[in-house]
Chain A
Amino acid sequence: MSALLELDDVRARYGPVQALHGVSLTVDEGEIVAVLGANGAGKTTTLRAISNSVRREGGIRFAGKPVGRGGPDDVARLGIAHVPEGRGTFAELSVWENLRLGAYTRRGPIKDDLERVSAYFPWIEERRSQQAGTLSGGEQQMLALARAFMQRPRLLLLDEPSLGLAPRLVTEIFRIIKDLNDTEGLTVLVVEQNAHIALQLAQTAYVLEVGRVALSGPSAELQAHDSVRRSYLGY
């Protein structure tokens, strides 16, 4: 396995507030990596720094090449799909149009992808003309995954996929992510508050505290780690 994504001492700020104080992490090809941490630890900002949605300092390399300082659209074109906080749903557009936007950077037919998406989310086909904003929260999260999938990314950035969802739906969403990773070899970097489920899913995890990496290692090790257990798993 080789490193698909490398962050080297990445810093970011919102006006006077420093959100990232130098984050370094590595995501290997075909791996699921989880980023854990409390509110305000810099999890979301880490993803935003990768997709150039926030101005950052420090080096980011994707597939061996440095990621430029262009816009999020340039990063998307490199093959990185970012499902942001709030899921990035085009609420006013139809389900079908959301999926087509997912495939925006690609050329050629997208019919095969639609079929594969329908295999994961059977309800999408029959509700393709429904306005996306009228879907339930769980459906919107699935649509966001489907939209990212249409992009055929090499790396998927997921921001709190469990947020606001019922536990059963969270399990379902994570099962699908795991499935995509197993069968399609999709590399995933997922930010999560729900440490319990994230550590089950990921092979590697990073714990952020106030904009720095406090801990990192294989998920199994972190699960056994005392402070992680106390602070994030609650037992």
Chain B
Amino acid sequence: MSALARKLGAVTQKRRSAVSTGVSLPVLGLLAGVAVFLLVGSFTSTIFAQQTVAGLAQGAIFASLALALVLIYRATEVINFAQGELAMATTFIAYQLIKWGLPYWVAFFATLAIAFVLGAVIQLVVIRPVQHRSVIAVVIVTVGLFILIDGLVTWEWGADLKFMDAPFGNTVYHVGKVAFSRNDLGVLLVSILSVFLLWVLFQFTKLGLAMRAAALRPAAASLVGVRVNWMLAIGWGFAAVLGAVAGLMTEPTQFLQPTMMQPILLYAFAAAVLGGLESAAGAVVGGLMLGVFLNLLGQYVGFATSELRLPIAFGVLLLVLLVKPNGLLGRKQVRRV
């Protein structure tokens, strides 16, 4: 009897520690419910299925940019307001490379490399000097960067719409009666793949571990030999790479112009906050959910015109935050001293 009681005690203890480090049950239930709803809807209505896939593609872009915001938030504790403009600028760089004759995918990867260097250099040159002063100083620097990048791009390339080759072509696939555009599938695949690769890097490599340690506990990290400053710069580099992916994946539907990432940044910000701002998984889930939600809303709710999408998105965000102030997957710090 007592052995059984001890066993039960051990089980509940285990359960408790699992919950305290992970996701809360109601949220898991909610996410499962959403997934079931989307699946059932997609099997019953072709339009629903089409809008869901298109929404996922749009959401994957939000997710990449939201993850970039989260990366920097975790390391620097500020929202990088220039993240969207940086993404836009790197997309212009890709445009220039293609104009010079590079094939799309060569230009794509070259742009990612350039974005990495650009992000790291920005951290080294303009963020690091003010980082230890105050959070507000860093915020103001990122706002300054926003304006600077915007100005530079407009000065170099002009504000008129530009066009790039469609990376995935304009093919439309038909599965039964459901039509999927190849572009949506490609965008979804590339965005999710880059998010996944970054997750692998952070979770399973020595570099990733050092970057997490440097962001979480800079003093303790430097005592075990981690070059904290370099890790922060590399973190900004990877955030810029994610931003570049978001920019390049946005271009086929939005065309290239200096303002193209501004609404996306707002949605990405909403997605990051929805997910919990500190949580990488939260940013991705938040981005995907927001994308699908907005697309279905546009399809099924008559008054939700494109002008109303942003206010509605933020209205929902407000409601979620009233119920769960830490966001869906954000967790309260568990710490025992």
Contacts and interface: CB of A to CB of B under 8 A. Distances in A.
Interface of A: 51, 53, 71-73, 76-77, 81-82, 84, 86, 88-93, 97, 100-102, 104-105, 130-131, 133-137, 140, 147, 151, 164
Contact of B225 (A89, A100, A104, A164): A104
Contacts of B216: 90, 92-93
5 contacts: A73-B226, A97-B209, A104-B206, A133-B336, A135-B336
B24 interface: no
B227 interface: yes
B222 A101 contact: no
A90 B217 contact: yes
B17 A134 contact: yes
B192 to A, nearest CB: 25
Contacts of B206: 100, 104
A184 B134 CA distance: 45
Contacts of A105: 224-225
**Considering the complex of A and B, which 5 residue pairs feature the smallest CB-CB distances, nearest first?**
A76-B225, A105-B225, A88-B220, A72-B222, A133-B335
B173 to A, nearest CB: 42
Interface of B: 17, 20-21, 206, 209-210, 212-213, 216-217, 219-228, 333-337
Contact of B224 (A91, A104, A133, A164): A104
A53 B224 contact: no
Given A91-B335, A100-B206, A71 B222 contact: yes
A102 B333 CA distance: 23
Given A73-B228, A81-B224, 11 more contacts: A72-B223, A73-B227, A88-B217, A89-B220, A92-B333, A93-B213, A97-B212, A101-B213, A130-B17, A136-B336, A137-B337
A72 B226 CA distance: 9
Contacts, number: 91
Contact of B222 (A73, A137, A164): A73
B217 A131 contact: no
Contact of A53 (B210, B212, B219, B227): B219
A100 B212 CA distance: 12
A84 B224 contact: no
A97 B226 CA distance: 14
A88 B337 CA distance: 11
A228 B300 CA distance: 82
B277 to A, nearest CB: 15
A151 B213 contact: no
A84 B224 CA distance: 11
Contacts of B228: 71, 73
Contacts of A151: 224-225
A134 B335 CA distance: 6
B336 A134 contact: yes
B212 A93 contact: yes
Nearest to A94: B21
Contact of B334 (A82, A134, A140): A134
B211 to A, nearest CB: 11
A209 B12 CA distance: 50
Contacts of B17: 130-131, 134
Contacts of A133: 333-336
Nearest to A135: B336
A51 B223 contact: yes
Contacts of B212: 93, 97
A101 B210 contact: yes
B335 A84 contact: no
A72 B213 CA distance: 15
Contacts of B219: 53, 72, 84, 88
Nearest to A136: B336
A13 B233 CA distance: 30
Contacts of A136: 336
B217 A134 contact: no
Contacts of B220: 84, 88-90
A53 B223 contact: yes
B336 A77 contact: no
A8 B208 CA distance: 39
Contacts of A53: 219, 222-223
A184 to B, nearest CB: 19
Contacts of A140: 336
Nearest to A97: B209
A133 B337 CA distance: 8
B209 A131 contact: no
Nearest to A144: B220
